Structure 1
Amino acid sequence: MDDDIIGAYAMLLLLKKKRNLQKKRKRLWSRQWLQRRREENVAFRLLRELEVEDPATLRQWMRLDRQQYLDLLRLVTPLIEKQDTNMRQAVTAEERLTLTLRYLATGESYRSLSCQFRISHNLISSIIPTVCKAIYKVLQSSFVHLPTTTEEWQKVAGRGESTETRIFNYRLSRARRTTENAFGILTARFQVFKQPIRTTPENVQDITLAAVALHNYLTEKSKDTYIPQGFTDREDIENGRLHQGQMHQHAHAAIEDLHPVGRGHTNEAKQVRELLKGYFNNEGQVHWQAQMAQLH
């Protein structure tokens, strides 16, 4: 009886071992395509074709032209490169940067990028935040704080409103529009923001800072292609008209309207309002504001 139990137990162990071996072989077989990363992924094939045959599509594909890409690669390589080991070839700095730029430009899922770059999606989830942090670090000198307003945008009140208040409201709405244009360009060019970024708050911050740094870099280095004429809103001061830019045709390229919140402003906010109103109507005034304020 005891021999039968021992035999049955041994048989179960053998079957379990065989099953685990089959699973391991199947898993290794299904991942063979990852082993051909150096020869087949888009960083080593498609990009080289586009560089020679279609530079415009290359810039559209990752938002940078070839020279800008090489300049950025040179800056971030010391921060992101890894060394090969006896077990495997490391993902190169070029692959890491290209992968991250593609993610920022499109917001594609990690699994989609995994198939394109032949890198496991688990590794991609650690590569992107690291490279984003490096991009921001090397480009932060070009980082310009986007304009903000100190209070909610208010629509112009009725006819009894004073000229000073009307001018203040116009200047405040103009500042809001400038902010909306800046973020509109950012979200139109870097569509990673078109949907929720499903990662940790720390990673979201690194991704956002990298996109903003790239936005400022491209605004300075290639404004004609990054922000072509007519893409943003434009005020016609002579005729008192506002012309909407083409960016509004892009999905997620404008700040969504927010529902008004029924609460009063703090005393501090009111003091800031009066301070800015005084500034806009005195030393901070511009010659066209009175005319434009009457038309808003």
Structure 2
Amino acid sequence: MDSSDDEYLASATVLKYFINKKSFGKNPINDKRSEFGEFHHLYSDLRKYPAKFKEYTRMSIETFDYILEKIGDKLKKKWSNFIKVPICPCERLIVTLRFLATGASFASLAFSFRLGKSTVGAIVKETTQVLWDNMFTIHMPQPNEQCFQEIAEQYWKLWNFPN
């Protein structure tokens, strides 16, 4: 490389190109999330129709509210200079449930909820971890011999099938 190459690489035009190549922050498409995003558009209407809510989330409204009550505080994010408008725990749970219920890609969910792909990925990861950490001991206790005996008895009662 000679000095003319150095001058070219240091030129304002080239530097501007490389600096602006990757932008940080919110995409303009996502600016209207509260107006056009799936959560803000659909959630309140779904709560009026329990059958549709269950079809959308794969759980009843009561179960959704129960889960949100148990983990909502752990999903809250604080306002800061970096996080201007935090995503509410309810929306975080809905995004995660849509991912689990449909298997849709993060990119697909990002477009429909008007969030970034990495944001959707982080939400799903954080929410599933909070769900596991706070609910597995309640709803999936460590099995013991008595538990297995009860399960075997239920099989026998329901299907006349041992063990």
Structure 1-normalised TM-score? 0.42
1:19 matched to which residue of 2?
Answer: 17
Partner Cα distance (1:117, 1:146) in 2: 39
CA distance in 1, matches of 2:46, 2:75: 25
- 8 Å CA contact 1:43–1:94 kept in 2: the answer is no
Offset at residue 37 of structure 1 (A)? 2.3
Q: Deviations over 1:93-149 (max 9, x none)?
A: 1121111111111221111111122222212222222211222333331225689xx
2:69 is the counterpart of 1:94: no
In 2, Cα distance between the equivalents of 1:145 and 1:57? 34
Q: Quote how far apart the aligned CAs of 1:76 are.
A: 0.6
Q: What is the aligned partner in structure 1 of residue 39 from structure 2?
A: 43
**Is 1:68–2:63 an aligned residue pair?**
yes
Residue 34 of structure 1 is matched in structure 2 by 30
2:149 aligned partner: none
Residues 32 and 126 of structure 1: CA distance in aligned 2, closer, same or farther (over 3 Å)? same
What code does the residue aligned with 2:42 have?
L
Matched position secondary structure for 1:45: helix
**Identical-pair percentage:** 20
Alignment of 1:94-133 (within 5 A): 94-133=90-129
Q: Is the 8 A contact 2:8 2:14 kept in 1?
A: no
Letter in 2 for 1:99: V
1:167-246 matches, within 5 Å, as 235=159
Distance 1:29 1:138 in 2: 32
Return the alpha-carbon distance in structure 2 between the equivalents of residues 146 and 42 of structure 1: 40
The answer to whether the 8 A contact 1:76-1:135 is kept is yes
TM-superposition CA deviations, 1:264-293 (whole Å, max 9, x none): xxxxxxxxxxxxxxxxxxxxxxxx86xxxx
> Which 5+ residue runs of structure 1 have no aligned equivalent?
148-174, 179-233, 238-287, 290-296
Which protein is richer in helix relative to its size?
2
RMSD over aligned CA atoms reads 3.3
Query: For 1:129 and 1:106, how far apart are their aligned partners in 2?
Result: 16
State how far apart, in whole Å, the 1-side matches of 2:62 and 2:79 are: 27
The answer to which of 34-43 and 54-63 deviates more is: 34-43
Quote the offset at 1:29 in angstroms. 10
Gap regions ≥5 residues in structure 2: 145-151
- Give the corresponding residue for 1:193: none
Larger radius of gyration: 1
Write the distance in 2 (CA, Å) between the matches of 1:64 and 1:22.
Answer: 44
